[in-house]
Amino acid sequence: MDTTHRESPATGGSPAPREHGRRKVIGAGLGVLAAAAAGGGVYWATRGGDAPGPSTPAPPWTPPAHVPASELDTKWVGVQTHDVAVAESFGAWLGRPLDVVVVFNSDANWAALSGPWFAMAPPAGQDWGQWVRDDPDTRTLVVSTGLVPAGPPEDWRARGAAGEYDAHWTTFAENLVSKGLGSSIVRLGWELNGDWYETHYIGSTEAQREAWKAYFRRIVQIITAVEGADFEIDFNIAEGQQDSVTIDEMYPGDDWVDIIGVDVYDSYISPIDPTARWEEKDAKVNSLSAVIAFAAERDKPISIPEWAMVAAGDTQGGGDSPEFVNQIADAVVGAEVRYQAYFNVPEGGVGMTLADAPRGRAAFLSRFGASGDAGPVAG
C-alpha cells in the first residue's frame, strides 16, 4: 500500500507437511524498518538514474527446474505480525494454525539487513526462527526485505547489478540458513513499483528498471547458491498503475521467480457500492486479475502477501466490507495461490483491523477458517 505500514504488537484441521521450496527439486545448493525490538515501516521517495560501473562476474548458477503452478497451489493462510503470540492467537481465532507469517527485515544498515533481527537477535516473543524450528513441516516465514539499506547512493541499482553488494547477500542467506530459516519465502524488494521505498523502488526510468532487474537476478543467484538454502522467491508488486509501468516491464524473468505476488487494499477507489469498487479496481493497471493472468501465462502461483479492508477517510477506504473479503476469497479459490496474508494492523493508512469490522471479520472466518473454502489445499 502506498502509505506507511507500521507494525503494531496488538491485534480447520492441521495441514499436511509441505514440500518447502521448488529450488530443492534440482538441489540448487549452489517497509518496513524493523528496530531491534519490533517492526516499523517508513516509505521514502527516490530519484536519479543508475550509471553502469565496473562489474564483478556473478557466481556460477544453474536455473532451477520448473515446477508447475498446480503443485504449488497450497493456498496457505497467514497474517503480518512481528509477535509470535499475535500469530498464535490469530490462528486460535481462525480455528486452524497459520501456515505463514509475514515479517519485515531492517534496512538500518548492511549489518542489520544481512543479519535479520528476527533470526539473529530477536526480542522476547519475536523469535521467528524458533517458531519455524518448532514445526518446520507446517510453518513458513515470509521475509520481506529491501535491496539496500536506507539512504542509498543514487546509482545503487547499477552498483548492485555490478556485484558491489554480493558479500552482504551471501551473509544474509547464511544467517537465515543457520537459524533454520533456509526454506523461507523471500519477498525480495516488495511493492517494488511504489516510489515510497528508497531501498527497493524499481525506478522511474527504463535504465533504472533494467539495472534493478539485473540486481534482483544477481541477489537470487547468490542467496540460492548458499549451502542449505531452499528459498522461494516472491516477486511482489503493489496493485495499481504507480508509474503506469505494467508488470511485464518490471518482471526479471521466470528463472529467478517462484511466486508472483501483489498487495491489494480496499482503498483509493471512489465508488461506494462494493461491486462498483471491485470493478474499478479490476480496471487498473496491475490489478489482481491482471497479475493472476500474468502468472498463469508463466505457470507460476500467485501470492497476496498483504491485503486488508481499509477505513473510510482520506484513502477512500471501503470500511467494514464483507464484499471485499469475499472478492479476495473468490480470487484465491479461482487461482493457483501459494499464500495470502492479512495485514491486520491499523497503521499505514489502513485505519482498522478485523476487530473493527464485524461483518468483514465474519466473512473472513467463514472463507479462511477451519471449514472455509479458500483455505489450504490438502497435499
Could you give all domains of the chain from N- to C-terminal order, each with its CATH number? 72-368 (3.20.20.80)
Give the C-alpha separation, 136 to 138, whole Å: 6
In angstroms, what CA-CA distances link 252 with 70, 148, 269?
22, 18, 29
pLDDT at residue 29, rounded to an integer: 29
Residues recorded for the chain: 379
Please calculate the CA angle 169-299-211 and round it to the nearest 5 degrees: 35
Confidence band (pLDDT; 50, 70, 90) for 146? very high
- 219-272 pLDDT, tens digit per residue, is 999 999 999 999 999 999 999 866 678 999 999 999 999 999 999 999 988 888
Could you tell me which residues come within 8 angstroms of residue 273 by beta carbon, excluding any fewer than 6 positions away? none
Note whether 204 and 250 are within 8 A (CB).
no
Our answer to whether residue 154 is catalytic in this structure is no
List 198, 232, 306, 323, catalytic entry = 306
For 82, which DSSP code?
Answer: S
Our answer to whether residue 191 is catalytic in this structure is yes
Give the C-alpha separation, 166 to 155, whole Å: 16
Segment 312-326 shows an average pLDDT of 94
What's the chain's average pLDDT?
87
Amino acid at 95: G
pLDDT at residue 57, rounded to an integer: 81
Confidence band (pLDDT; 50, 70, 90) for 379? low
Confidence band (pLDDT; 50, 70, 90) for 207? very high
Give the C-alpha separation, 91 to 355, whole Å: 14
**Among 208-212, 255-259, 267-271, 365-369, the least confident range:** 267-271
pLDDT at residue 170, rounded to an integer: 98
Give the C-alpha separation, 363 to 222, whole Å: 42
pLDDT at residue 129, rounded to an integer: 97
Cell representation of residue 321 = 466490507
Segment 314-318 shows an average pLDDT of 90
pLDDT at residue 270, rounded to an integer: 85
Cell representation of residue 199 = 531501498
Give the C-alpha separation, 214 to 160, whole Å: 8
Cell representation of residue 144 = 520481506
pLDDT at residue 143, rounded to an integer: 98
DSSP letters, 362-375, are: HHHHHHHSTT-SSS
For 37, which DSSP code?
Answer: S
Please determine, for residue 298, whether its predicted confidence score (pLDDT) is greater than 90. Answer: yes
- 149-181 pLDDT, tens digit per residue, is 999 999 999 999 999 999 999 999 999 999 999
pLDDT at residue 50, rounded to an integer: 57
**Among 95-109, 243-257, 329-343, the least confident range:** 243-257
- 15-73 pLDDT, tens digit per residue, is 344 455 544 433 232 233 233 333 333 222 233 445 545 578 877 888 889 999 999 99
Give helix 358-368 / helix 84-94 axis angle, nearest 10°. Answer: 80
DSSP letters, 248-302, are: HHH---GGG-SEEEEEEES-S----SHHHHHHHHHTSTT-HHHHHHHHHHTT--E
In angstroms, what CA-CA distances link 320 with 93, 272, 274, 311, 354?
19, 12, 11, 7, 8
Looking up cell 528508497 gives 198
List 7, 164, 191, 232, catalytic entry = 191
Give the C-alpha separation, 325 to 355, whole Å: 14
Give the C-alpha separation, 91 to 38, whole Å: 21
In angstroms, what CA-CA distances link 345 with 7, 11, 174, 254, 269?
7, 7, 31, 33, 20
